[in-house]
């Protein structure tokens, strides 16, 4: 039995942490700066954010490695530091997880940042090799599972899943796609199509993250639940509402109670994993945790 299975036996739904990027921006990450660099240069800040999520009731924390593939790091001139930054991220997340009891570490994998064939020029094999490089370092750093998130292209997801399997035969894999374009991904994938395709390639958890606010997330959650397959669990991590322009800056306006109400609805639909994406804070996760345990 994997540590993820053990966690599901102890907690249904399993509560995952909230946003990292917006929290790092509050701590001083510049627009256009590389969040992954903070795993080394400001590791204590990353650890503090993840520890706050643990204290708020998260059963799992996510490594600060959303842009940790070589093509994404190359946008910051960091292409030679893939192993170092991902390994450090796993170790920082483990320290934060150890501040709680039996808290899991999910190794975060985001989109590679380029279109794959046939729309783009990168082949699935090259993408797979980039994902494998990142996942190797995350697994070496001791993550309990891999979370592939904010995906739009099923072909890219499949390359990432093949990469995970080339590194580890049995580490659990969670996949969430972003249905942000009329309830489909940018590439036109529906929630039902995602469940169907991903349950067939052996991932453990399928779902949605990010997107466009709680009203759309609710509809996506219903579609995922309707399409549920026997061999996969369901996950949803919406943003903290919709961003609004306030004092010249985009801010997410969903309050913790909004997310708590959403979490209760998704629990009633049978969701197994609940998280939160952009704009969410430890206060949001605390409200979710409280609403499900009282
Ligand atoms: Zn998001």
Assign 3-class secondary structure to 23-61. HHHHCCCCCCCCHHHHHHHCHHHHHHHHHHHHHCCCCEE
How many angstroms does the Cα of residue 259 sit away from the middle of ligand 1? 14
d(CA 278, ligand 1 centre) in Å: 4
Task: Report the CATH number at residue 283.
Answer: 3.20.20.330
Q: How does residue 249 score in pLDDT terms, banded at 50, 70 and 90?
A: confident
Stretch 113-140: mean pLDDT, rounded?
A: 97
Joined together, the tokens standing for residue 290 give 């409280």
Average pLDDT score over residue span 31-47? 97
Give the whole-number percent of the chain exceeding pLDDT 90: 94
What pLDDT score does 245 carry? 87
Number of domains the chain contains: 1
Average pLDDT on 76-103 reads: 98
Ligand 1 center–CA 69 separation, angstroms: 18
Q: pLDDT above 70 covers what percent of the chain?
A: 100
Instruction: State mean pLDDT over 214-227.
Output: 98
Q: Residue 20 C-alpha to ligand 1 middle, in angstroms? A: 10
Structural Rg of the chain based on CA atoms: 17
Beta bridge partners of 60: 16, 104
pTM of the model: 0.97
Please tell me the distance between residue 212's alpha carbon and the centre of ligand 1 in angstroms: 9
Distance (angstroms) between ligand 1 centre and the Cα of 237 equals 8
Given a contact cutoff of 8 angstroms between Cβ atoms, the answer to whether 261 and 291 are in contact is yes
64 Cα: distance to centroid of ligand 1 (angstroms): 14
Higher pLDDT, 213 or 249: 213
Say yes or no to pLDDT of 240 above 90: yes
177-195: pLDDT as tens digits? 999 999 999 999 999 999 9
Indicate the pLDDT class of residue 293, thresholds 50, 70 and 90: confident
Measured in Å, residue 5 CA sits from the centre of ligand 1 at 26
Residue 134 near residue 86, CB atoms below 8 Å: yes
Domain hosting residue 214, numbered range: 3-293
Phi, psi angle pair for 106, to nearest 5°: -100, 125
> Taking a C-beta distance cutoff of 8 angstroms, is the pair 149, 110 a contact?
yes
**CA 81 to centroid of ligand 1, rounded, Å:** 25
Centroid of ligand 1 to alpha carbon of 277 (angstroms): 4
Q: How far is the CA of 108 from the centre of ligand 1 (A)?
A: 13
pLDDT (0 to 100) of residue 250: 82
Ligand 1 centre to CA of 1 (Å) is 31
**How many whole angstroms from 211 Cα to the centroid of ligand 1?**
6
Average pLDDT score over the chain = 96
pLDDT at 7: 95
CA of 208 to the centre of ligand 1 (A): 10
Q: Identify the band that residue 118 occupies on the pLDDT scale cut at 50, 70 and 90.
A: very high
Where does 114-188 have alpha helices with state H? 124-140, 154-167
DSSP type of residue 17? -
Whether the per-residue pLDDT at 294 is higher than 80: the answer is no
Closest-CA residue to 70 (of 129, 119, 148, 147): 129
The whole-number pLDDT of residue 34 equals: 97
- Cα–Cα nearest to 108, from 77, 86, 81: 86
């Amino acid at each position: 039995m994997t540590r993820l299975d053990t966690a599901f036996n102890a907690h249904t739904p399993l509560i995952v942490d909230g946003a990292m990027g917006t929290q790092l921006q509050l701590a001083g990450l510049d627009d256009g700066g590389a969040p992954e660099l903070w795993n080394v240069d400001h590791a204590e800040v990353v650890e503090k954010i993840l520890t706050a999520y643990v204290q708020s009731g998260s059963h799992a924390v996510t490594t600060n490695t959303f842009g940790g593939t070589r093509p994404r790091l190359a946008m910051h001139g960091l292409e030679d530091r893939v192993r170092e930054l991902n390994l450090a991220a796993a170790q920082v997340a483990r320290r934060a997880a150890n501040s709680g009891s039996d808290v899991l570490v999910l190794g975060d994998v985001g989109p590679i940042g380029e279109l794959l064939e046939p729309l783009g020029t990168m082949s699935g094999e090259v993408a797979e090799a980039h994902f494998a490089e990142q996942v190797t370092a995350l697994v070496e750093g001791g993550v309990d599972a891999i979370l592939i998130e904010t995906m739009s292209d099923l072909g890219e997801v499949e390359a990432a899943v093949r990469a995970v399997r080339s590194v580890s035969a049995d580490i659990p894999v969670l996949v969430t796609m972003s249905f942000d374009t009329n309830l489909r991904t940018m590439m036109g994938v529906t929630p039902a199509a995602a469940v169907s395709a991903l349950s067939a390639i052996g991932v453990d958890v399928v779902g949605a993250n990010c997107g466009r606010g709680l009203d759309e997330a609710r509809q996506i959650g219903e579609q995922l639940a309707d399409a549920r397959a026997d061999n996969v669990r369901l996950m949803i991590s919406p943003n903290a509402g919709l961003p609004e322009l306030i004092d010249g800056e985009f801010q997410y306006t969903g309050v913790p109670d909004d997310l708590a109400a959403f979490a209760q609805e998704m629990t009633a639909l049978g969701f197994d994993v609940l998280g939160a994406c952009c704009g969410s804070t430890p206060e949001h996760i605390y409200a979710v945790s409280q609403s499900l345990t009282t």
